[in-house]
Amino acid sequence: MNLKTKSFLELKEALDQGEISSESLTLNFLDQIRKWNPKLNAFIHLNEKALEEAQEADRLLKEKGHQDQKPLLGLPLAFKDMFCTKNLKTTAASKMLKEFVPPYSATLVERLLKRGAINIGKTNQDEFAMGSGNQNSYWGECRNPWNLDCISGGSSGGSAVAVAAGMVPLSFGTDTGGSVRLPASFCGVVGVKPTYGRISRYGMIAYASSLDQAGVFTRRVKDAAFVLEFVCGEDGKDSTCSPKKVPKWTECLDRSLQGLRLGKPKECFEKELDVEIREALEESFQMAKEAGAEVIDVSLPYLDLAIATYYLIATSEASSNLARYDGVRYGYRAPVNELEDLMDFFSCNRGEGFGLEVKQRILIGTYVLSTGYYDQYYKKACQIRRLLYEGYLEVFKKCDVLLTPVTSQAAPSIHISKPHSLSTYLKDYFTLPINLVGLPAMSLPLKLNSKTLPLGVQIIAPHFEEQKMFNVAQALEDRLLFKEFPHVFH
Amino acid sequence: MKERVKQIEIDVKKITSLARIKITEEEEKTLKKRIEKFFEYVEKISEIETKNIEPLFNPLSRETLFHSDDVEDSFSASSALKNAPDVLDHFFKTPSIIKGASSGSKKESKPLKKSMEDEE
C-alpha cells in the first residue's frame, strides 16, 4: 500500500482494521520528510517523541475499545508553527520566538492529541502569518512539490506542502486573509477555513484577532469535514469562539446538488484571470449544474475595496497583538550594552527580532490607529467592512453557496514573486473578503494546468452553514477526483 | 482613464518611535517607499459614503462573556520563567536601565518578598 497517497480516513480504516500499525505509518511519513524536506522546507521542527507516541497508540489499538474515546488514535498530522504545542518549539517562523517553547498547547492541538492523533511536527510559514508566499520565514522559503522553482503559497505554506508531498495525511494552518485556501490551491490539496468563531483561537498565536481562524489541509473533502467535527465548538478560554452546536458534517454529505443555488459573483469573473483558471471554473459550474444545481449571477459591489479594508484592519490589529513582544518575559532580546532608556530596550529587541514584512505591517497599523488618522483609516475601514458584510448577507438571500477563483494564476516562480510589494497584496483579491465577513470557505483542487501546476476553486457558504460548502465540494470532487501526485511521491 | 493618485508623505521615524521598533537607515528608505505606496492605494476608501454606517469590528457578535472567579491550576513559576531571556530566582531579569547611565551599573534594587512557591 502506498501510504503517501491514502486519505486520512483511508488510513484510519487501515489502522482500525489492523492492516497497518501507527509505528509503520509514522516511520513511512518520517522517511518521506527525511527525503524531501531538505528541498521543500515544509517542516521546521519535528516531534522527537512521535515514534514513541505511535508505539503507544499501537498498544492501545491492539487492546481495542479505545477508538470511541480516541477516534484519531495513531493517525499522524502536523501543525503550522502558529499553534502552541506544549514542550515543542513554537516560533511563528520568527527570530522573535526562535527559542520559544510553550508551557501549554492550543485548544485545537489538545483536542486532537486527546483523541489519539500523533503530532509529527511544526510546519513552515510566513513570519507571524504575514504573507502569501511562505517567503517571509525566518527558517527560509518553502517550495512547491509540483515544481521546486515555484512558491508554495502562504502563509501556511509548510502545512499545505506537508500534505501535498505525502509527508502527513492531514495538517493544520491558520487563515487570516487566505492563508489556508491559497497554498491549498497552489499545492493541489483541500484547504478549509470554517466560519470565524467555529474553532477556538486559544493558543493560536494572534496576528489579527477579528480575522484569524484555524483551517485544515487534507487530500479529500470528507477528511476535512471529519476532523473539523472534533476541533470546532465552544471553548471557555476564547470568548470569540461560538457556542453554536457543531453538526456531524460527514453524516450529511449529500452527493446531489438538486435545488441548490450556486452564486457566481460578477466582480470576481470580471477580473483578469489566467485562461486555464477561467476554463477550470467554468467547467466546475457546468459540473455543479449536472449535479442538479442552478447557477445564478450575483453582485458584490464593494468587493474592490476589500483589499484596502483588509490591510488597514489587519495591520492595525497586528500592531496591537504584536506589542507583547518586548523581550522582557520571553522572546528575542538584543545583545545591546548601551541602552538609552526603556523604550530603547524595547525598540532594539523588536527591531532585531522582527523581519521586514512584520515591521512594515506593524508600522502601517500603528499609523492607522494613531491620533488624527484613526477615523480616516481604521473607522472608515470598519464601516466598509460593515458594507461588505451586508453585501454578502444580501447575496445569500438569492443563493446558497458562492463559487469563485482562489487566485488569478497558478503558483508563480520563486524568482518573480515579490513578497513585500503592493502587487502581492493585490493578489489576495478573492480570499481576503471572506475573513472580513467571517464566512466559511474552502479551496478544492480541480486539475493541473498545462505546466502541471494545480488549479483550485473557492467555495463559500453563509455563516455556520459549512454543510452546504462541503456538499458542493463533495459533488465536485466525485466528478473531478483530483488523483494527481507530484513527482516527490515516486 | 488616468487614475488620480494622491501623494502621501509619511514620517516613518515618528511611527517607529510609537511602535517601539528600531530600524536601520536602509530599512527606513525601503519602508518609507512601500508604506507611502500603500497609503496611496488605500486612499480609494475615502471616496465611499459611509455616513451613519455602524463600523463592524468583529464578524461574530457576542456579548461580553463572564465566568465565575474560581481558583484553578496554573503554571508554576519555574515553567513561566522557562522562556525568559534572563532570570534571577523567581524574577524575570532585565538590564538595569536608568536614563543617561550605562547598563553596566550594578545598582541592586531591594528584593521583593517571595510570594509564590515553586510547585515543582
ipTM score for this prediction: 0.93
DSSP A317: H
Interatomic CA distance for residues A264 and A296, integer angstroms:
6
Task: Give the position of cell 469563485.
Answer: A404
Distance of CA A103 to the CA centre of its chain: 24
Are A103 and A59 in contact, with CB atoms under 8 Å apart? no
pLDDT at B40: 94
A453 touches chain B (CB under 8 A): no
The model's confidence at residue B102, banded by pLDDT at 50, 70 and 90, is very low
Within 13 Å of residue A431, how many CA atoms lie on the same side as its CB?
34
| Interacting residues of A377 by C-beta distance below 8 A, sequence separation 6+ | A312, A367, A368, B42, B45
pLDDT at A132: 93
DSSP secondary structure string, A359-405? HHHHHHHHHHHSTTTIIIIIIHHHHHHHHHHHHHHHHHHH-SEEEEE
Contact B85 A333 (CB under 8 A): yes
Q: Nearest 5 degrees, angle CA B50-CA B52-CA B53?
A: 60
The model's confidence at residue B63, banded by pLDDT at 50, 70 and 90, is confident
Predicted confidence pLDDT, tens digits, chain A (490 residues): 688 889 999 999 999 999 999 999 999 999 999 999 999 999 999 999 999 999 999 999 999 888 889 999 999 999 999 999 999 999 999 999 999 999 999 999 999 999 999 999 999 999 999 999 999 999 999 999 999 999 999 999 999 999 999 999 999 999 999 999 999 999 999 999 999 999 999 999 999 999 999 999 999 999 999 999 999 999 999 999 999 999 999 998 877 899 999 999 999 999 999 999 999 999 999 999 999 999 999 999 999 999 999 999 999 999 999 999 999 999 999 997 788 888 999 999 999 999 999 999 999 999 999 989 999 999 999 999 999 999 999 999 999 999 999 999 999 999 887 777 777 787 899 999 999 999 999 999 999 999 999 999 999 999 999 999 999 999 999 998 788 899 887 7
- Torsional sign, CA A357, B59, A209, A233: negative
Contact B85 A331 (CB under 8 A): yes
Per-residue pLDDT, averaged over B42-52, amounts to: 95
Interatomic CA distance for residues A314 and A207, integer angstroms:
8
Contact B55 A362 (CB under 8 A): no
Residue A313 belongs to what H/E stretch? helix A306-321
DSSP B63: P
- Say whether A55 sits in a helix, a strand or coil: helix
Q: Which residues from B are below 8 Å from A376, CB to CB?
A: 46
A259 touches chain B (CB under 8 A): no
Query: In the annotation, is A179 catalytic?
Result: yes
Task: Give the position of cell 541592586.
Answer: B108
Query: In the annotation, is A155 catalytic?
Result: yes
- Scan residues 403-422 of A and list those with Cβ closer than 8 Å to B: 420-422
Query: In the annotation, is A171 catalytic?
Result: no
Interatomic CA distance for residues A412 and A416, integer angstroms:
7
The model's confidence at residue B117, banded by pLDDT at 50, 70 and 90, is very low
For residue A311, which of A206, A177, A408, A214 has the smallest C-alpha distance?
A177
pLDDT at A314: 98
Among A86-95, A252-261, B48-57, B103-112, which is the least confidently predicted range? B103-112
Res B2 pLDDT > 60 = no
Question: How far off is chain B from A24, nearest CA to CA, in Å?
Answer: 34
A22, A132, A159, A179: the active-site residue: A179
Give the three cell numbers for residue A59.
498498544
Q: Which residues from A are below 8 Å from B56, CB to CB?
A: 382-383, 385-386, 389
Top pLDDT among B5 and B59 is at B59
pLDDT at B4: 52
What pTM does this model have? Answer: 0.94
DSSP secondary structure string, A147-199? EEEEE--SSSHHHHHHHHTTS-SEEEEEESSSTTHHHHHHHTSEEEE--TTSB
Residue contacts between A and B (CB atoms, under 8 Å): 168
- Torsional sign, CA A172, A449, A428, A432: negative
